[in-house]
Amino acid sequence: MGSREEIASNKQVMAKDYITGNPKAADMYLRNSTISLKLPPEASNAVLVKNLYLSCDPYMRGVKRRDANRLFYSFNPNSEIIGYGVCKVVDSKHPGFKRGDLVWGVTKWEEYSVINMTDSLFKIEHTDVPLSYYTGILGMPGMTAYAGFYEVGAPKKGDYVFISSAFGAVGQLVGQLAKLMGCYVVGSAGSNEKVEILKNKYGFDGAFNYKEEHDFDAVLKKYFLEGIDIYFDNVGGDMLEAALGNMRRRGRIVVAGMISQYDLDEPQGIKNLVNIVYKQVKVEAYTVYDYYDLYPKFLETILPYIREGKITYIEDTDEGLESGPAALERLFTGRNAGKQVIKLAQE
């Protein structure tokens, strides 16, 4: 009461309509809006944040579908893009957050956002690492890698590990965690540049460009003379079929995604499921949402690795909200060179 309301301009990235297939820059537009930097008294439990970094993630392809399934947030045409971000609290009606707190979680693609679903916000306690990491290695993708590899994959030292989309925001961490555990690690990626980084920077034992290979079964046989213990699957389809044919007894296929299968009119048939029986394979999908209780344990594991330089993480950062639509499109064409981040403000 009585304090002069401060009104700020608020640029926003809007989606025009429902989207079929992968999001393209042309599906979005920029809008100039304004926002009060003080929450109204009735906004109980809400927080108002300034968005510092926004994250482009593969799951976002599902957000804007008309038939979006329950995994994803609901969406209306002509509304802001929703996604993960790193934010600074400007005003708070929530007892758990105060002005100046740094948080990461689900926000909107705009300069300032009112967040009502505060359950998805994590307070950032460690700022000696790049803040942008909380969109990737220390955020949702990192937790996805950690839960999938350790909890679903049940890895052991010496395991033979194959990762598809190994240069993605999730895959690059899975591979490094596997190497740190003493596993043999091979990854597939979509360019020779990415393959080189996997081998030379991340220490993968092998990597190949799937776009240059025609016989995935033969490639996997070459890299896995003894077969595969853990296949960390981000793509499904042909690569899953080839991996199934090369699993070892009691192998685990951790399904983080099947990006090759989402937009097919006629989904591909996988013909060798009988290998599941022959080799007593486990195929398990999961969602990171079921594992967030492990987040403190996850930080305890990953932060020291980052500080000691034992894990690195490559980001592909664009500056400014205006770059968002093109950055999101680039993610789905594989032309990003690391975890795709949009930087809005320093703090």
| Comparison of 189 and 256: residue with beta carbon closer to a second copy | 256
Q: At its nearest, how many Å lie between a second copy and the CB of residue 170?
A: 13
Residue 196 vs 263, nearer CB to a second copy: 263
Least separation in angstroms between residue 208's CB and a second copy is: 23
> Tell me, what DSSP letter sits at residue 60?
G
CA distance linking residue 273 with residue 261, whole number of Å: 17
337 CB contacts (<8 Å, ≥6 apart)?
Answer: 193, 194, 314, 316
Two tokens, residue 47: 């927080």
Determine how many CB atoms are found less than 10 A away from the CB of residue 303: 18
Task: Provide the binding-site residues for a second copy, judged by CB under 8 A.
Answer: 69-71, 236, 240, 249-250, 255, 257-258, 261-262, 266-274, 276-287, 290
Which residue, 21 or 267, has its beta carbon nearer to a second copy?
267
Bridge pairing between strands 247-255 and 228-233: parallel
CB of 202 to a second copy, least distance (A): 25
Of 267 and 320, the one with the shorter C-beta distance to a second copy is 267
d(CA 92, CA 48): 6
Least Å distance between CB 236 and a second copy?
A: 6
Please report, in angstroms and rounded to a whole number, the separation of the first and last CA atoms in the chain: 28
User: For residue 13, what are the β-bridge partners?
Assistant: 30
**Cα-to-chain-centroid distance, residue 300:** 20
Of the pair 25, 283, the CB lying nearest a second copy is at 283
- DSSP letter string, 198-216: HHHTS--SEEEEGGG-S-H
Contacts of 243 (CB under 8 A, 6+ apart): 162, 164, 220, 228, 231, 233, 253
Q: How far is the CB of 243 from a second copy (least distance, A)?
A: 12
Least Å distance between CB 255 and a second copy? 5
* CB nearer to a second copy: pick between 29 and 278: 278
Alpha-carbon distances of 37 from 12, 171, 270, 346, rounded to whole Å: 15, 38, 53, 18
Is the CB of 170 or the CB of 341 nearer to a second copy?
A: 170
Residue (202 or 291) nearer to a second copy, CB: 291
Report, in Å, the least distance between residue 312 CB and a second copy: 28
**Is 168:197 a contact under the CB 8 Å cutoff?**
no
In the bound state with a second copy, the residue whose beta carbon lies nearer, of 237 and 324, is 237
Instruction: Tell me if 102 sits within 8 A of 131, measured CB to CB.
Output: yes
Residue 261 tokens, joined: 């299968």
Cα–Cα dist 311/173, whole Å: 8
> Smallest distance, Å, CB 278 to a second copy?
6
Structure tokens at 302: 């990953």
Using DSSP, state whether 342 is helix, strand or coil.
strand
For the bound state, the minimum distance from the C-beta of residue 151 to a second copy, rounded and expressed in Å, comes to: 12
